[in-house]
Structure 1
Amino acid sequence: MPQALANDDQNTLAYNYCALPLASYACRPDQSKGRLFEEEESRHRTPFQRDRDRIIHSSAFRRLKYKTQVFVYHEGDHYRTRLTHTLEVSQIARTLARALLVNEDLAEGIALSHDLGHTPFAHMGEEALKKCMDALGGFEHNDQSLRILVQLENKYPRFQGLNLTWETLEGVAKHNGPCLRKKQQPDLSVLPVTLFELSKKTDLKLDQYASVEAQVAGIADDIAYNNHDVEDGLRAGFFTLEELAQMPFIGNIIENVKKSYPGITPTILVAEMIRDMIGAMVTDVLEESQKRLKEIKASSPDDVRQASRQTVAFSPKMFDDIEALRSFLYARMYRHYSLQRIWAKVERIIPDLFTSFTNKYTLMPDHWQRRVEEAGGLTNDKARARIVCDYIAGMTDRYAIREHERLYDLYWDLK
């Protein structure tokens, strides 16, 4: 990694790095640890803005439109997709970042990239692909997100990947917490493959917590999916408002909304309930995080990284309420028979594709065949499996379904 940008160089840049004063524990773009491949920085955008923009313009980001969040894309136009989920995470992350006086652009970039590595069919697809890769190097969607950012997105003549800043890569790698125990050395036995390879090129301090901005992105993910799964579950008829009201946290919100708006329609009631739930969670995170920042007397980003516990967090009471909600959603939504039927199909689609392509890589498109050959996959089973894994993980739901039909419907293209 290049050294931090020199102050003399920064004086020649035309941008204002933040609309608001940043807290001392915030990550400043003019103090970035740099990129894997040194580049001349923009006169009009900060390094973190450029990271965000590169992510938005990536092919992997566009594919999120047709990747499942919970419901497969064709089941309805109003359910969340992986893309709309990502945008909601980004919005909540910016809100939290601004309130905590940290860098919004960095928090947004991490939020926008956190799910790039998800497979088709959401966690159902991930579990199926994990089983396929179990003895061939493994698979994790977080690690696949990193792989996309540092290797698979090829749009530049001088380097592979998007060449994002150290701070963005750190955030993607550690937004859910440290990846190693204190002083533990990076090793393939404890790290997924892409993160291990990246650790040879730059020290992401994997035994420490991430920046406030990265922690903001991680908790924004929790807030977004718990709330939108409630709304989507209600729309699908998996449970009722009356059943949700049995949980005190949600019951109190529903009661307050009804008192404030007598005669409110069920549709508007649900919308107001979700807004109030998100608002309550955001307020709770801000209060708890500000308390923890004071406790550690954070005066730099490294103070946050070296803390003994996560700095951006829910209060114990809110954490318990969210755990109760997660248990409810698991029992009433994620285990619903209609989703289990999809899972039964995914358990066939993903392994069928994986087996076909690993046994005969020439069934893949030409440019993927070249990747297999360039990676040494003609003689190395793990190398071939990794490229096949990249191909399948990058598929949208509809593309995976069509590929399966092309391979297993004997009359496809012959009708």
Structure 2
Amino acid sequence: MNIREKIEELEKRNLSKYAAFSQKTRGRVSAEEQDEIRTCYMVDRDRIIHSKSFRRLKHKTQVFIKTSSDHYRTRLTHTLEVSQVARTISIGIGLNEYLVEAISLGHDLGHVAFAHMGEEVLQGFLPDGFKHNEQSVRVVKKLENGGKGLNLTDEVIDGILSHSGFSQDMPKSKTLEGQVVMYSDKIAYVNHDIDDSIRAGLLHEDELPKEVIKVLGNTNSLRIDTLVKDCVKSTIKNLNSENIRVSLSYEVGEALNELRKFMFSYVYLGEQLKEERKKAKFILNHVLEYYLQNPHKLPEMYKEIVEKEGLSRGVVDYIAGMSDDYCINEFNKIYVPKFVIY
């Protein structure tokens, strides 16, 4: 018995019967020989961490654009915080930690520069619109590895696709692990964005909804602690009643939802960052228009996508992969005059 098989045996003994067992994976599009040390989900985690798209997350905005402080979250630090929250919840429930980790690390690979402002700009350039979760799937299935993709397992791809949104009507992941990541994403970003907003002077603790704070706690760490423990306890209660889903209790879930709504109205779409959002959209729109008019300037891989899938698709794929810094540099290279000495 090799090391991977020992890990798979440990999964059978230690995990909940509702966990996604590595041995029972729905597999990959292209079949591969199994690794002798790592389970299939461990392999997926490693492929994501070593991808170019993952490295670019360090220069993609979470909420605050081009800040001078090193202490604000980026898309990369957000991803790591989601992973840690999700792993804690999955261990508490008895789910597959390696699957949760792989989904967490890959869930935002398709996010655009300049946070959700970038997503808004790209919305109008594709017939079916642009969603970062769908773009994340496209990254791992097609764009990474020189156009070959990462050939991840179906469970990881499903979890990445299903992580977005918070409505009860949204399609849920087929695995409980994927559902854990969906909740962990919200738990992480609502709380760390409050922390960053207070640091930036855009928000004060006293302005947070008092009824929500009464339920969740009056500090960042207390709120995360409340949400994580509630998710573990509520989900175990569900599973014991044969209700196979991840959830928060009604009171805690409503409190998180209200806090999330508050952040959207007060920070994400609020007046304080309006001018910065306009600048970001201006840059993105102009870079997009340039490449739509000059597709011959695209890198070779994206030229091939233009030929096979159309101009908008190829240009959007290229723009969506840009970090904030790279996008600003492209704008400067295209539109800002250079000094010429005669």
Q: Using structure 1 for the length normalisation, give the TM-score.
A: 0.75
Q: How does 1:14-413 map to 2 (within 5 A)?
A: 15-17=6-8, 18=10, 21-131=14-124, 133-135=125-127, 137-154=128-145, 160-176=148-164, 209-244=173-208, 246-251=209-214, 273-296=219-242, 304=244, 311-364=245-298, 368-369=299-300, 371-372=302-303, 374-375=304-305, 377=307, 383-411=310-338
Label 1:240 to 1:215 Cα distance change in 2 as closer, same or farther (>3 A): same
CA offsets 1:58-112 (integer angstroms, 9 cap, x no match): 0000000000000113342111000000000000010011011110000110011
Shift of the 251–40 alpha-carbon distance from structure 1 to 2, 3 Å rule, reads: same
| Code of the aligned partner of 2:211 | P
Q: What SS is found at the alignment partner of 1:90?
A: helix
**Bigger shift: residues 73-82 or 323-332:** 323-332
Structure 1 vs Structure 2: percent identity of aligned residues? 38
Looking at structure 1, the residues matched to 236 and 163 of structure 2 have their Cα atoms a distance apart, in angstroms, of 18
1:113 positional shift: 0.6
Q: Within 1, Cα distance between the matches of 2:242 and 2:341?
A: 67
1:234 and 1:177, CA in 2 relative to 1: closer, same or farther beyond 3 A?
Answer: closer
Distance, in Å, in 2 between the alignment partners of 1:413 and 1:399 is 23
Measure, in 1, the Cα distance between the counterparts of 2:339 and 2:133: 35
Q: State whether residues 15 and 44 of structure 1, in contact with CA within 8 Å, keep that contact through their aligned partners in structure 2.
A: no
Query: Where does the alignment leave 5 or more consecutive residues of structure 2 unmatched?
Result: none
Q: Write the distance in 1 (CA, Å) between the matches of 2:340 and 2:21.
A: 55
**Contact preservation (8 Å) 2:133, 2:162:** no
CA RMSD of aligned residues (A): 2.7
Mapped contact 2:59–2:323 kept (Cα < 8 A): yes
Q: Point out 4+ residue stretches in structure 1 off by more than 4 angstroms.
A: 10-15, 206-209, 251-255, 412-415
Most deviating of 314-323 and 399-408: 314-323
Unmatched 5+ stretches in structure 1: 1-9, 182-205, 256-272, 298-303, 305-310
Change (3 A) 1:11 1:322: same
Q: Is the CA contact (8 Å cut-off) linking 1:69 and 1:82 kept in structure 2?
A: yes
Q: How many residues align?
A: 339
Paired residue secondary structure (2:310) = helix
Report the CA distance between 1:209 and its aligned residue.
4.3
Between the aligned partners of 1:406 and 1:412, the Cα distance in structure 2 is: 12
Change (3 A) 1:208 1:121: closer
- Structure 1 or 2: larger helix share? 2
| Cα gap change, 1:145 to 1:94, in 2 (>3 Å) | same
Aligned-pair distance for 1:291?
1.9
For 2:305, the aligned partner's letter is A
Give the conservation status (yes or no) of the 8 Å contact 2:96–2:177: yes
For residues 408 and 351 of structure 1, what CA distance do their matches in structure 2 show? 12
Compute the displacement of 1:392 (Å): 0.5
Distance in 1 (CA, whole Å) between partners of 2:340 and 2:185 is 41
